Amino acid sequence: MGLRERKKTETRAALSTAALRLALEKGVDNVRVDEIAEAANVSPRTYNNYFPSREHAIVAGITASRALQVAEELRARPSDEPLIDSIVAAFAQQYREPPTEALALINSTPSLREAYLDSVSSMEPPIAEVIAERLGKDEAGAEVLAAAVSAAARIAVQRWVDVRPSGLVVMPAGSVEDHLREAIGYLEPALR
């Protein structure tokens, strides 16, 4: 990674860290973009180059680390394991951890939940790399399959987490792994 890309990554991380910290301290509705930019020592214009909304900035810190964790988990899986099993296990691992204060904030705020579910797409590049490596797919084929996996995972998580109008989060019967296996299972013929 060159200096420019590294600085962009650092700026994005500083913005998302500041956004999440401010949201936890003040509440989502009380955080303004200019406050996030100031806390990250950048201009509001620079902020707008990185995030379309404060909600996306708030969830970015969590999703960025999850994308890296999915990639690491996928690469750590046995190479002779069916790829669909590796993908389900890698995603499921990210939802087995106990909810944190940040996840509780996301789950209790409709606009953050929406941004969080949309952010599952940040996991596509590492999934595409593993698909290309394991199945010998070309770049375009691997990216298409990774996007399909990402969409299936987003739907599985939506079905697993039942958020009531009161903000109460209820985990329905069945594990996240069951929901992931069902949703990603539709892609099994393409992931062989």
pLDDT in tens, 94-127: 776 655 677 777 777 888 877 877 776 777 888 8
Give me the DSSP letters along the chain.
Answer: --HHHHHHHHHHHHHHHHHHHHHHHH-GGG--HHHHHHHTTS-HHHHHHH-SSHHHHHHHHHHHHHHHHHHHHHHHS-TTS-HHHHHHHHHHHHHSSPPPHHHHHHHH-HHHHHHHHHGGGGGHHHHHHHHHHHH---HHHHHHHHHHHHHHHHHHHHHH-EE-TTS-EE--SS-HHHHHHHHHHTTGGGG-
With a cut of 70, say whether residue 21 has pLDDT above it: yes
Write down the pLDDT at residue 164. 58
C-alpha–C-alpha distance, residues 140 and 4, integer Å: 26
Res 132 pLDDT > 70: yes
Q: Is the pLDDT of residue 1 over 70?
A: no
What are the pLDDT digits (tens) for 35-94? Answer: 999 999 999 999 999 998 889 898 887 776 677 778 888 889 998 999 999 999 988 887
How many CB atoms sit inside 10 A of residue 18's CB? Answer: 23
15 vs 20: CA distance, rounded Å: 9
Give me the chain's average pLDDT, please.
Answer: 83
- Res. 169: pLDDT tops 70: no
What was the pLDDT predicted at 40?
A: 94
Q: pTM of the prediction?
A: 0.68
